Amino acid sequence: MAYSIRVRLVDGEGDIFAGSLGGAVHAQGEQSLARRIRAVAGAAWVALSFAVAQIVTVGERPALWQVGIVALLVVFAHVGVIRTRNGGSRQLYVWQATALALGLFLVPGPYLVVISILGPITLSVLLRHEVRKAVFNASVACLSSSAAVLVSLPFGIYRPSIEWERVFQPEVFVGLMLATLTAILLSPLLTALPVSAERHRPITSGLGPVYRTAIFVWARNFVLALLIAAALARSFLLALVVLAAAIPIHLLSAERTALARERAAWHRLQRAIDHLRSVDLHDVVREAAAAATEMVRADAAQIVVSRAAEEPLSFLADETGRERSESDFVSRAASVVPVRLATPEGDIGTLRLFFFKPVTLTATEWNTLDAFANALAVALANAVKFSALHREAEERIRAAHRDPVTGLGNLLMLEKEFDAAMRSRLDDDHVAIAVIGLDRFAEVNDILGAHPADLMLRSVAERLASVVRRCDVVGRLHGAEYVLLLRELAGPEAATAQAESAVRELGGTITAEGLDIAVDAHTGVACVPEDGVNLTDLLRRARLAMYKARNLDVPVYRYRPELEPPALAQVEMLRDLKDALGSDQFVLHYQPKFSLKSGLPVAAEALVRWQHPEEGLIPPGQFVPLLERCGLIGNLTRYVLGAAIAECATWYREGLPLAVAVNLSARNLLDEDLPRFVLDALASSGLPADRLICEITETAVFSRSPTASSILEQLRAAGVGLSLDDFCTGYSSLALLRERTIDEIKIDRSFVSDLGIGRRSTEIVTALIDLAHRCDIIVTAEGIETKEQQRLLAALGCDYAQGFLLAKPMPAPLVRQLFVDSLRVPGGLGAMPWHGSRQKWAASLP
């Protein structure tokens, strides 16, 4: 047999039968262990009996010297061993492959089966092993050799005399190889039967490393057996020489094995230290326990952290790394190796290694264990410090999210819970914020003092927490204000009912330091999505509703938009406008401008609208003045210019020679970069400059600031048309007519609306048209709403007209379709030439 594994069986330092002898093995494990040992011994008894019967009945007898040589080889094969350890297990790799192969040459199979038990029995007698242990080892040897004999029978290996030629015959070589290989594969498997019963693990667990080493030893011993057999065929003396030459080989193998064990120990140390990089205390303890068992091949390892921030932390892992209870190992361990885990600040804990049999650690193992213990102590110290810092941070976070008086959540907690509620809200679910205000709390605080006031606040908090649903959240804002986050509501009515139920529970009195304090409260409710989707808005609106409930002396009031103070409404609108400028919430509508002579469209004015996500489409009059006051009108103007130029370029590419008009405010005429922006937009879109009209007011032009004049000059020089909007409603701008710095004037709707009604208005409009024409300036009338106004303006010689009678502002697709339909009119479209004389333009009209 090439190999014998003595796992608490043969070696004198331990005992696999400690359970039966010392009571250390659990009853269930002992029963399984006993059954398996009896099974192995019974099978060996059958094999041995059959072998003896064969010896008695078969007449073939080997020479006595052959039997003697095989017996001596079997006995002495157990002396030259290579020892390794796995936990409390000692694995002994012996020379039995040599003895077995030579035995198949020298004696018949039954003799070899009987002789094979001599080695384990002799060794057990010398080492004074117990009978039970000796019987099991002998049984394993008997079954292994029996299997080898059965495999060798078809090859006819045994002959009464050893012949040189037969040693290396293919059938003999193959037979010997298969027979000895069978023995070394079966031997550790049989030995694993009691080991697996004791350790409560599969039989095949851990056999991989055992087989790798055993096969290496078998190959060496098999080759040696062939050499000895060949030498023995020549002379007995030559065989002794070969056997003597094998001794240095054995010593070299033992030394090589020792070096390999040492390298493996340092590699295991490195792997073990690699597991200590975490800063989580539980991870470090768990990984270190598993790594320690692998590093020193212990059956279990326990780490006790005595300096943990909480109670002492303990973790015990078996050789597979799984957590086990301490009772599973402490009573079964025959050897416990404690190792201090020391740091400069003192001991931080203990590493305890458990072995199921007594072991003696080598110097290399002690060195690696000391290095690992130092690294583990540092890792544990760091993890303990990190755990303390992490726990302190969590306590600070909890404190930051809690009201110190009532223990309820504060605004930070409410924001977190609100975000979670919004993420989990279904389409038909409603979320509501209810702000509850206590009346006369300031009086209680001023008259009775802070302590009764705090008792009152805590009592109210307890009542609210006891009445809300499990899905709702109660918090305290500040002073005497509480907040309810109501979730999973069917609608606003359900929110109001839930808030009213909570307020009703607050009715009555609260006893504080022997005094009965009456509690009166009012609640305001704001719902998602009807009243907003932003927590800040909902809290403010719910607070407004709470103030209204207090004024009306009703328990609950739902928020309504009319509760908003004007100033607050503007602040809220300004915040929404800033968001809108960065999220493409603005859209352009276009109002066409028509020729009063031909009736065809010639241009369109771009009018901005705000597509609010909650309020819908908002006209410019509600937000443009606010943008001008806050200095944000420039951003909006650039957006309008860019979008309008791009749309007009689309018309131009489709063969629609129309112009687009964009309004510029007084603040826009102070933006020195405006001309460059306009020219860049025109160039990138491919739109000719004379297709763009910039409408400005009299007030903007009257300022006569150098910047405004420069901007207008640059635009006009580039070919952009300039139009004076709301003419004669602001400052006098007759000088502009004289200087011809503009191309068009637009008569304000206030004059147009009085046409045909008041004589003076008609005279003023007539004079304006005549004056403009004399200055070669085009005239457009705004706000035409009746056929009579259109007829009179045409009769007075007005050039263009714009108003609801002709066309209302419309989205880009509709105005484009209107222009396309106009192409079907005979004569086509008329295009306004913003440069050149008005007389040329008039002559070009159909």
Domain boundaries, the chain: 18-234, 270-276+283-399, 411-564, 588-844
pLDDT of residue 196: 67
Query: What strands lie across the sheet with 346-355, from one edge to the other?
Result: 313-318, 300-305, 346-355, 335-343
Q: Of 726 and 696, which is predicted with more confidence?
A: 696
Angle between the N-to-C axes of helices 170-199 and 27-57, in degrees from 0 to 180, rounded to the nearest 10 = 150
Residue 170, preceding peptide bond in cis (omega within 30° of 0): no
Measure CA 489 to chain center: 31
Give the DSSP letter of residue 25: S
φ, ψ for residue 365, nearest 5 deg: -65, -40
Summarize pLDDT for 480-499 with one digit per residue, the tens. 888 999 988 888 899 899 88
pLDDT of residue 11: 30
Let me know how many helices (H) and strands (E) the chain has, helices first. 31, 23
Residue 672 pLDDT greater than 60, yes or no: yes
Summarize pLDDT for 383-403 with one digit per residue, the tens. 888 877 877 777 777 777 777
C-alpha pair distances (Å), 267 with each of 274, 277, 300, 757: 11, 17, 19, 107
pLDDT of residue 679: 95
Average confidence (pLDDT) over 295-307: 79
Q: Of 511 and 747, which is predicted with more confidence?
A: 747
Give 694's pLDDT tier (boundaries 50, 70, 90): very high
Give 801's pLDDT tier (boundaries 50, 70, 90): very high
Q: Write a three-state SS string for 716-783.
A: HHHCCEEEEEEECCCCCCHHHHHHCCCCEEEECHHHHCCCCCCHHHHHHHHHHHHHHHHCCCEEEEEC
Distance CA 587, CA 584 (A): 8
Q: Of 177 and 795, which is predicted with more confidence?
A: 795
SS3 831: coil
pLDDT > 70: percent of the chain: 75
Give 833's pLDDT tier (boundaries 50, 70, 90): very low
pLDDT of residue 21: 29
Q: What does the CA dihedral 641, 646, 650, 651 come to, rounded to 10 degrees?
A: 0
Distance CA 21, CA 40 (A): 20
Q: How far apart are the first and last CA of the chain?
A: 119
pLDDT of residue 652: 92
**H or E element, residue 434:** strand 430-438
pLDDT of residue 774: 87
pLDDT of residue 309: 53
What is the identity of the amino acid at 515?
A: L
Summarize pLDDT for 178-225 with one digit per residue, the tens. 888 888 788 878 877 776 666 666 666 666 667 776 777 777 777 777
Q: b/e per residue, 473-491, with b = 16+ CB within 10 A? A: bbbbbeebbbbbbbbebee
E-assigned strands of 566-687? 586-595, 601-612, 616-618, 659-663
pLDDT of residue 811: 94
Q: What does the CA dihedral 525, 526, 529, 532 come to, rounded to 10 degrees?
A: 180
Name which of 496-505, 625-634, 654-663 the model is least confident about: 625-634
Name which of 50-64, 134-148, 632-646, 810-824 the model is least confident about: 50-64
pLDDT of residue 837: 43
* Residue 736, C-beta contacts closer than 8 angstroms, at least 6 positions apart: 701, 724, 742
Q: Of 452 and 612, which is predicted with more confidence?
A: 612
Residue 226 pLDDT greater than 80, yes or no: no
CATH topology of domain 588-844: TIM Barrel (3.20.20)
CA-based nearest residue to 16, from 276, 265, 177, 191: 191
The first and second tokens of residue 137, run together, are 């080892």
Query: What class does CATH assign to 18-234?
Result: mainly alpha
Residue 240 pLDDT greater than 80, yes or no: no
**H or E element, residue 527:** strand 521-528
CATH topology of domain 270-276+283-399: Beta-Lactamase (3.30.450)
Distance CA 465, CA 488 (A): 17
CB-based contact 475:414 (threshold 8 Å) = yes
Distance CA 551, CA 270 (A): 75
Distance CA 830, CA 596 (A): 11
SS3 481: strand
Residue 647 pLDDT greater than 80, yes or no: yes
pLDDT of residue 471: 86
Q: Considering the domain 411-564, what is its CATH architecture?
A: 2-Layer Sandwich (3.30)
CA-based nearest residue to 505, from 545, 558, 550, 459: 459
Residue 602 pLDDT greater than 90, yes or no: yes
Considering 26-40, 197-211, 753-767, 822-836, the range whose residues carry the highest mean pLDDT is: 753-767
Distance CA 390, CA 281 (A): 11
Q: Of 622 and 801, which is predicted with more confidence?
A: 801
pLDDT of residue 828: 44
Q: Of 498 and 293, which is predicted with more confidence?
A: 498
pLDDT of residue 836: 42
Residue 265 pLDDT greater than 50, yes or no: yes
Give 790's pLDDT tier (boundaries 50, 70, 90): very high
Name which of 370-379, 380-389, 836-845 the model is least confident about: 836-845
SS3 618: strand
Give 823's pLDDT tier (boundaries 50, 70, 90): low
pLDDT of residue 24: 36
Mean pLDDT of the chain: 77
Residue 770 pLDDT greater than 70, yes or no: yes
Residue 428 pLDDT greater than 90, yes or no: no
Residue 56 pLDDT greater than 80, yes or no: no
Residue 239 pLDDT greater than 70, yes or no: no
Domains 270-276+283-399 and 588-844 share a fold: no
User: ∠579-580-585 over CA atoms, to 5°?
Assistant: 150
Summarize pLDDT for 544-594 with one digit per residue, the tens. 999 899 888 888 999 988 887 665 567 778 888 888 888 888 999 999 999
* Residue 676, C-beta contacts closer than 8 angstroms, at least 6 positions apart: none
Average confidence (pLDDT) over 107-125: 78
Residue 478 pLDDT greater than 50, yes or no: yes
Name which of 44-53, 145-154, 158-167, 418-427 the model is least confident about: 158-167
pLDDT of residue 260: 60
